[in-house]
Amino acid sequence: MNDVIDSDGFRANVGIVLMRGGGEVFLGRRVGGRGWQFPQGGVRCGESLEEAVLRELHEEVGLQSSHIEIAASTARWLRYRLPQRYVRRNRTPLCIGQKQRWFLLKLRRDDVEFDLGLTAEPEFDAWRWVDYWAPVREVIYFKRPVYARALTELADSAFPQGHPPLPSWWTEVTRRDRRGAAETQASTG
């Protein structure tokens, strides 16, 4: 099945913020130590966003729908452009970036077992729980604006009684990333 790439060159994608009871979120280390990120993946032709979330959740971390509840999603697509060196020019249609809908998933029980090796090409080789805002600082630079927007939008659903304060580094990291490259800024669409 092929992923959906729109006429502007953005690949439809779902992002997963998996949260456990204490308010921490799951971060996976990309195979080979290539950075930390949330589970995410392309939406296939004919697949609903929710179907894509459940498929990616199972493929990347080994969880089933019975392990989670879908608590919220972003209202719109959040986009980022890939830096030129990451654009695969030998593929048709050309993909210049991702448009993502982000989903907040809450674990029904904190004692679930993750299985990172369910596919022939696993996405992650390690995982850990981190504070809610930490992924913005840890993800690769060109995804930071989207992570900041997604976590900010999902925070009220994640923490109905009031979300944790933004960390002291937040303003500097998000300002630097907005200033750093117009090509990688998040936009809605």
Residue 150 pLDDT greater than 90, yes or no: yes
Query: What are the structure tokens assigned to 151, written together?
Result: 């976590």
> Is 1 within a domain?
no
Count of domains for the chain: 1
| Any domain includes 35 | yes
Tens of pLDDT along 19-63?
A: 999 999 999 999 998 899 999 999 999 999 999 999 999 999 999
DSSP state of 115: -
Number of Cβ atoms within 10 Å of the Cβ of 163: 17
Is residue 71 pLDDT above 60, yes or no? yes
Instruction: Report the chain's mean pLDDT, rounded to a whole number.
Output: 90
* DSSP-assigned beta bridge partners for residue 126: 29
Q: How far apart are CA 16 and CA 45, in angstroms?
A: 19
Q: What angle do CA 30, 39, 155 make, to 5 degrees?
A: 125
In this prediction, residues 72-79 reach a mean pLDDT of 97
Point out the least confidently predicted range of 87-91, 139-143, 178-182.
178-182
CATH of the domain at 110: 3.90.79.10
Whether 115 shows a pLDDT value over 90: the answer reads: yes
**Inside any domain, residue 115:** yes
Side chain identity at residue 6, one-letter code: D
What is the average per-residue pLDDT within 103-107? 98
More confident position, 9 or 3: 9
Q: Which residues lie below 8 Å from residue 109, measured CB to CB, with a gap of 6+? A: 67
Q: Is 177 within a domain?
A: yes
Residue range(s) defining the domain that contains residue 48? 10-188
Under DSSP, the state recorded for 91 is S
150 found inside a domain: yes
Q: What is the phi-psi region of residue 46: left when phi exceeds 0, alpha when psi lies from -120 to 50, beta otherwise?
A: left
Say if CB 157 and CB 104 are below 8 A apart.
yes
- Residue 89: Cβ within 10 Å count: 8
